[in-house]
A and B are shown apart, each in its own frame.
Chain A
Amino acid sequence: AQKVTQAQTEISVVEKEDVTLDCVYETRDTTYYLFWYKQPPSGELVFLIRRNSFDEQNEISGRYSWNFQKSTSSFNFTITASQVVDSAVYFCALSATLYGQNFVFGPGTRLSVLP
Chain B
Amino acid sequence: DGGITQSPKYLFRKEGQNVTLSCEQNLNHDAMYWYRQDPGQGLRLIYYSQIVNDFQKGDIAEGYSVSREKKESFPLTVTSAQKNPTAFYLCASSIAVASSYNEQFFGPGTRLTVL
Chain A contact residues, CB within 8 Å of chain B: 9, 31-33, 35, 37, 42-47, 50, 52, 91, 95-97, 99-103, 105-108
**Cα–Cα distance between A92 and B35 once the two chains are bound (Å):** 15
A44 with B31: CB separation less than 8 A: no
Chain B nearest CB: distance from A104 CB in Å?
A: 9
B40 with A33: CB separation less than 8 A: no
**Cα–Cα distance between A37 and B104 once the two chains are bound (Å):** 10
Chain B nearest CB: distance from A39 CB in Å?
A: 9
Given A35-B103, A47-B103, A107-B40, A101–B98 Cβ distance below 8 Å? Answer: yes
Q: Which residues of A contact B96 (CB under 8 A)?
A: 101
Binding stretch for chain A, among B14-22, B62-70, B106-114: B106-114
* Contact pick for B100, options A33, A91, A108, CB 8 Å: A33
Chain B contacts with A in 1-58, Cβ cutoff 8 A:
31, 35, 40-45, 48, 50, 58
Given A91-B42, A106-B42, A45–B106 Cβ distance below 8 Å? Answer: yes
Q: Which residues of B contact A43 (CB under 8 A)?
A: 88, 90, 108-109, 111
Chain B contact residues, CB within 8 Å of chain A: 31, 35, 40-45, 48, 50, 58, 88, 90, 92, 94, 96-109, 111
B101 with A33: CB separation less than 8 A: yes
Counting chain A CB atoms within 10 Å of each CB, the highest count among B94, B104, B107, B108 belongs to B104
B107 with A44: CB separation less than 8 A: yes
* Contact pick for A107, options B41, B92, B106, CB 8 Å: B41
